[in-house]
Amino acid sequence: MAILFNKGNKKMKHRTFALPLMLILLIAILSSCTTIAPQAAPSAPGAKGSVTLEFMQWWEPELPAGAFRALMDEFEAQNPGIKVQLISGPYSTTREQVVAGAAAGTMSDVVGLDGAWVNDFVKQGALANLSELMAQTGYDDSALAAQIQLNGSTYMIPVVNFVYPLFVNLDLMDAAGIVNVPTTRSEFAAAAAALTEPLSNRYGWVLPLSLEQPNGIQNDVMSWVWASGGSMMTEDKPDLTNPAVRSAAEYIKGLYDAGVIAPGAFSMREQDKVEEFVNGRVGMMISSMAHINMIRERNPDLKFTIAAVPVEDGYTGKRGLAYASWGIGVAANSPHQAEAWKLIEFLMSEEANSKLSSIANAFPGNINSTPDFVQTDELFGAAFEVFQAASLVNEFVGLPVAEELMRLFAEQFQLYLDGSQTLDDALNKAQEAWMAHF
């Protein structure tokens, strides 16, 4: 406008001639702006391609190439208004990104979760209440194998499960003259003793108690508690001095004193444990069924089987079985929670869950799903039988600073095993340390 009012008659005549052209250009520019603006705004819900869900997880890299993307394509075909953008990386990287996103309020719409993270994320207000999303859609949750809840509400659903049964080296069993896989603690102790030959660097059992990676407390120690129906909790509070925990601790101490546990337990990590089994240096270990194929690849000649973790002598109840999951949740700050729930509902459907558990060599999160490998693979079939007969248990899931709790217990348990303190001292100190986090 300032240009239009410059001084001088001659220039005025020029402006008079140029004014219609300038008005035409201005109108064209304004018309262009009004055309572009609606495209920049969010489209109406339900319109094709209107919503793109970010899904951060570590699952895709651990599956056959293209397999998880194919499942997402199937979901998109069934839900034409929703697209899924996979943000994939290794477990450790994903954990760092999810933790950072939870703290900053920038978490992806849908996230893969480890149960040990849930408590902290809920306290931060980072996870949506899945119970509310289920209620809004009238979802029937009776087919879900498990739900991770805090204060009565679900915040994580295990999509597929990796159970921790007993692995047994059949060649070593045959060489030691052991006919049957042990089912009770006394049978296990006897088998471990028979399998142990220190001069040949061979031992009955392997126990990882690294403080750096303390999940051996969860998978290899508390498994004995849970197998016989015991618990380390009472009314959502630690109860480490109860008879079930004491019994398991005393039992493991007996194995340690008998010299049937592979040396180096205090610094051993999970991958070290598996390495000992792969190389035939231990006869038995408690480990994830996810390691079956890895063991086969590393040592094709190794003959081994899968069984339930032995129980206390005389126990006749249902066995507990430790497990870890690929869990799933929705970000509290996501503007697309309804669409995110549709993705979860798809993954938990009988058909899709069967496909995912099959390609993951895992057990389904839908109790009606059946992975195809259990019908064609003897070892996975045996693991599936153990899974079906047991109750899945992992009391660390949902606890505050779960990994730190494992480390605190390991510190006291090591001192008990090497004779530096009594069992009472170990359990009481661990109990006190745990309570500081509740």
What are the mean pLDDT values of the chain's consecutive 10-residue runs (438 residues total)?
Answer: 30 34 37 34 44 96 90 97 95 88 96 91 96 97 92 95 95 97 98 98 97 93 98 96 98 98 96 95 93 89 97 96 94 98 98 94 90 86 88 89 94 98 98 96
DSSP percent split of the chain into helix, strand, coil, nearest 5: 50, 20, 30
Q: What is the pLDDT of residues 158-217, one digit of tens each?
A: 999 989 999 999 999 999 999 999 999 999 999 999 999 999 999 999 999 999 889 999
* Chain mean position to CA 431: 26
Q: Contact 202/282 with Cβ under 8 angstroms?
A: yes
Count Cβ atoms below 10 Å from residue 231 Cβ, excluding itself: 15
What is the DSSP secondary structure assignment for residue 207, as one 8-state letter? Answer: -
User: 238 has which bridge partners?
Assistant: 233
Q: Contact 164/324 with Cβ under 8 angstroms?
A: yes
Locate tokens 């209440």: which residue?
129
User: 311 has which bridge partners?
Assistant: 184
- Which segments of 258-349 does DSSP mark as H helices, in order? 270-278, 292-298, 337-347
Domain ranges, ordered by start, for the chain: 51-162+324-393, 166-307+399-435
What pLDDT, on a 0 to 100 scale, did the predictor assign at position 291?
86
What pLDDT, on a 0 to 100 scale, did the predictor assign at position 9?
35
Q: What is the pLDDT of residues 113-162, one digit of tens each?
A: 988 889 989 999 999 999 999 999 999 999 998 899 988 999 999 999 98
What pLDDT, on a 0 to 100 scale, did the predictor assign at position 44?
36
- The candidate with the shortest Cα–Cα distance to 253, out of 136, 397, 417, is 417
- Which segments of 139-198 does DSSP mark as H helices, in order? 170-175, 185-195
Q: Contact 240/409 with Cβ under 8 angstroms?
A: yes
Tokens representing residue 306 in the block: 């899968």
CA gap 226, 34 in Å, rounded: 65
What CATH fold (topology level) applies to the domain 51-162+324-393?
D-Maltodextrin-Binding Protein; domain 2 (3.40.190)
Q: Contact 86/71 with Cβ under 8 angstroms?
A: no
Q: What's the sign of the alpha-carbon dihedral 26, 30, 31, 35?
A: positive
Count Cβ atoms below 10 Å from residue 219 Cβ, excluding itself: 22
CA dihedral 59, 351, 291, 267 (to 10 degrees): 50
- List Cβ<8 Å contacts ≥24 apart for 94-98: 94/56, 94/57, 94/58, 95/58, 97/56, 98/56
Q: Contact 216/209 with Cβ under 8 angstroms?
A: yes
CATH code that applies to domain 166-307+399-435: 3.40.190.10
User: 327 has which bridge partners?
Assistant: 113, 158
- Which segments of 260-349 does DSSP mark as H helices, in order? 270-278, 292-298, 337-347
**Is 166-307+399-435 the same fold as 51-162+324-393?**
yes
> Helix, strand or coil for residue 316?
coil
Residue 79, phi-psi category: left (phi > 0), alpha (psi -120 to 50), beta (remainder): beta
